[in-house]
Amino acid sequence: MKLDILAFGVHPDDVELCAAGTLIKHIKLGYKVGIVDLTQGELGTRGNAELRLREAQASAKVMGVSIRENLEMRDGFFSATDENQMKLIRAIRKYRPEIVLANAIRDRHPDHGRSAELESRACFLAGLRKVETEMDGKVQEAWRPKVVYHYIQDRHIDPDFCVDITDFMDQKMEAIRCFASQFYNPESDEPESPISVKDFLDYIKARSKAQGRPIGAEFGEGYTVERQIGVKSLFDII
């Protein structure tokens, strides 16, 4: 299946927290969108790998993405090995996206910045025909996405552009709440984490409000770019 947009997240729920509104909006516009999670989030303070996978699939249904798969890298300990790099290259060549959304270039969680570099590098290497990969016994053709955009995670980064997600904020929050194991639950006896505090989901909405305000939108999602954005007309950016 060829995708228009492929979103990478090192942990299940990364994409939902930072880019779900953008994905839902483009799905509604008729684009094919998918998610590839690098790890199962097995080192998360709450929940476990099996539960996180179930939550991820439930969230995928809420968003309406065409595919979601998990590369089962080692949470917290993955590195830029040839094996991990090739997993990402195979996924890119399998889905042949025009646009890739990747983890934040730097963040509180060290996995985020490390995965961002791994994801970006894979997008370049996937376009080199001398990097040979196979899937299901067939040689894959080289494929390089046109652009890579990095979403913004826990720590503030000034975005290079923002997407108006006002009409899709409620659906974004529904997708996020699928990861119930990770968020506030007064009946839970698991340890508290930075995202399980009572007001965390309020913070997510407030951040989307802050990102939307400069573009005149009620809610937005911000991204950073790896290269300058080209436009055909000044009217493309008003």
- The residue ranges of every structural domain in the chain are 5-237
Is the pLDDT reported for residue 128 higher than 80? yes
Is the pLDDT reported for residue 72 higher than 80? yes
Domain 5-237, CATH among 3.40.50.10320, 2.60.40.10, 3.30.420.40, 3.20.20.70: 3.40.50.10320
Q: Tell me how far the alpha carbon of residue 162 is from its chain's centroid.
A: 15
The amino acid occupying position 70 is N
pLDDT, position 236? 86
What is the tens place of the pLDDT at every residue in 33-71?
999 999 999 999 999 999 999 999 999 999 999 999 999
What is the value of pTM for the model shown? 0.96
CB 52 within 8 A of CB 44: yes
Is the pLDDT reported for residue 132 higher than 90? yes
Average pLDDT, the chain: 96
Banded model confidence at residue 237, pLDDT cuts 50, 70, 90: confident
pLDDT (mean) for 158-187: 96
State the burial class of residue 200 (Cβ atoms within 10 Å of its Cβ: 0-12, 13-18, 19+). Answer: middle
Is the pLDDT reported for residue 121 higher than 80? yes
Helix (H) or strand (E) holding 100: strand 99-102
Which tokens is 214 given?
């400069």
CB 32 within 8 A of CB 66: yes
Which tokens is 9 given?
């997240």
Rounded Cα distance, 41 and 18, in Å = 16
CB 13 within 8 A of CB 182: yes
Is the pLDDT reported for residue 180 higher than 80? yes
Residues 6+ apart with CB under 8 A from 9: 15, 35, 36, 37, 38, 103
pLDDT (mean) for 91-106: 98
Rounded Cα distance, 113 and 118, in Å = 9
pLDDT, position 57? 98
